[in-house]
Amino acid sequence: MKAYRASVLYFVNPAQAVFESDGLLVVGPSARGLQVVQAVGSYAALAPRFADVPTAHFPGRIIAPGFVDMHLHYPQIDVIGSPAEGLLPWLENYTFPHEKRFSSPEYSAQAAAFFIAELLRNGVTTALTFATSHPASVHALFAEAQRHSLRLITGKVLMDQHSPDGVRDETVQSLIDTEALIQRWHGVDRLGYAITPRFVPNCSAAQLHGAGELAARYPDVWIQSHVAENKDEVVWVRQLYPKARSYLSVYEQFGLLRPRAVYAHCIHLDDEDRALLRATCAAAAVSPTSNLFLGSGFFDYVGADRAGFQYGLASDVGGGTSFSPFHTMLAAYCVGREGQTKAGVSLGPQHLWWQHTAGAARSLGLEGVVGNLLPGCEADFVVLNPQATPLLARKTAQAGSLDELLFALIVLGDDRVIEQTVISQAGNVAGVTV
Ligand SMILES: [Zn+2]
């Protein structure tokens, strides 16, 4: 066992944080061999029980759950920050040409190494990410994540139509490849597979049907896709499926809405769609920096909470403009405030933080596993320095409440705040397969 003494932040209820200003986090091996939280609370209360446990002391620092990024694209590390007229030209001019390179295992391996280093540098300890349509891209990322003992979920992109040579796949083979990748990687160490239809326009009906069959056969495998990001895209789907009630209902008709199904964006929905997300237990990956960058629209938080479906935050790199959870939380605040196209709301700092940690984990079906520091959670955490920049130091020194402290970090923070990222390694039993 090992203990960490610092301020400690964790969540007890949705959007309700606990902050122990002089706290103790005790971690030790679980029955499965991973390091998990054994106890968390105030130092004064816990220290006598754990007096023999070696304790690292981080004065002035905050230990918080590692961040959970619900949606991004690892092959788009070189697409970030590319100028375009909107989503569809951006895909054609930047994204697809870059993704073609991932047919090479060597190219994929170096990109995977860079990507995971960037996640960790930004305090992201769990990610649900797209790969490309090439199985090599998936093997490379899983292998790299396994080396870091990271809890990572990815999958081969399904895209058999309306896309150029070099990224387009073949219907039957794409489904064979998907099933082989599920069998090779899903549930190995901390890795999970996600069936990954890119979005309705890129997938034939036969491919979506096959994806739905696999989703039924492997119910604990994830599903990830995009829905209702952009109005041009919504019109395109209406042309492809004129009889469908909505864009989202196309996924339903192919069996692709269920628990562990995660849809990025979910902007241009109506209340019937929102009720469908709730009824099927599918979740939304809110991607605010991407939506602002590409001018796609504003996620309706009031509508989401009225319907009661699950959601959490995502960077959506490379449509998104930052790997930093602080930048994403700030953008989510701005998106919430927008009140011209929907009801505006001022999201509280604890709620924003929860959306990128425990709330995102819950949306992924990983509540009590990651995204929090309650006993039993896997010990993925970050050590934050609230004095990382002169302005942050000045501002956080004046914080009179937890909300003021967290909001200062959200608005002014970036990768410099992340002093350490600690991943739950296999403890006394190395290399255990779960
Ligand atoms: Zn995306």
pLDDT tens for 138-179 read: 999 999 999 999 999 999 999 999 999 999 999 999 999 999
User: Where do the DSSP E strands lie in 98-184?
Assistant: 124-130, 151-155, 157-158
**Residue 131, Cα to own-chain centre: how many angstroms?**
14
Q: Check residue 117 and give its pLDDT.
A: 98
Q: Residue ranges of the chain with pLDDT lower than 70?
A: 427-434
CB atoms within 10 A of CB 364: 28
Spatial contact of 147 and 119, defined as CB atoms under 8 Å apart? no
Report CA(290)–ligand 1 centroid distance (Å).
Answer: 8
Report CA(126)–ligand 1 centroid distance (Å).
Answer: 16
Q: Nearest 5 degrees, angle CA 105-CA 110-CA 116?
A: 115
Report CA(222)–ligand 1 centroid distance (Å).
Answer: 15
Report CA(192)–ligand 1 centroid distance (Å).
Answer: 18
> Whole-angstrom Cα distance, residue 102 to residue 259?
30
Report CA(263)–ligand 1 centroid distance (Å).
Answer: 9
Report CA(70)–ligand 1 centroid distance (Å).
Answer: 10
Q: Check residue 352 and give its pLDDT.
A: 98
Report CA(199)–ligand 1 centroid distance (Å).
Answer: 9
Alpha helices in 369-426 (DSSP H): 390-397, 402-412
Q: How many CA atoms lie within 13 A of 396 on its CB side?
A: 24
Q: Check residue 32 and give its pLDDT.
A: 84
Report CA(323)–ligand 1 centroid distance (Å).
Answer: 13
Report CA(226)–ligand 1 centroid distance (Å).
Answer: 6
Q: Check residue 211 and give its pLDDT.
A: 98
Q: Check residue 382 and give its pLDDT.
A: 98
Residues facing 11 on adjacent strands: 17
Report CA(82)–ligand 1 centroid distance (Å).
Answer: 15
Report CA(71)–ligand 1 centroid distance (Å).
Answer: 6
Q: Check residue 214 and give its pLDDT.
A: 98
> Whole-angstrom Cα distance, residue 327 to residue 401?
21
Report CA(253)–ligand 1 centroid distance (Å).
Answer: 22
Report CA(174)–ligand 1 centroid distance (Å).
Answer: 20
pTM to 2 decimal places: 0.96
Report CA(343)–ligand 1 centroid distance (Å).
Answer: 25
Spatial contact of 406 and 353, defined as CB atoms under 8 Å apart? yes
Report CA(317)–ligand 1 centroid distance (Å).
Answer: 7
Report CA(55)–ligand 1 centroid distance (Å).
Answer: 41
Report CA(416)–ligand 1 centroid distance (Å).
Answer: 26
Report CA(280)–ligand 1 centroid distance (Å).
Answer: 21
Q: Check residue 433 and give its pLDDT.
A: 30
User: Where do the DSSP E strands lie in 136-273?
Assistant: 151-155, 157-158, 191-197, 222-227, 261-265
Report CA(409)–ligand 1 centroid distance (Å).
Answer: 26
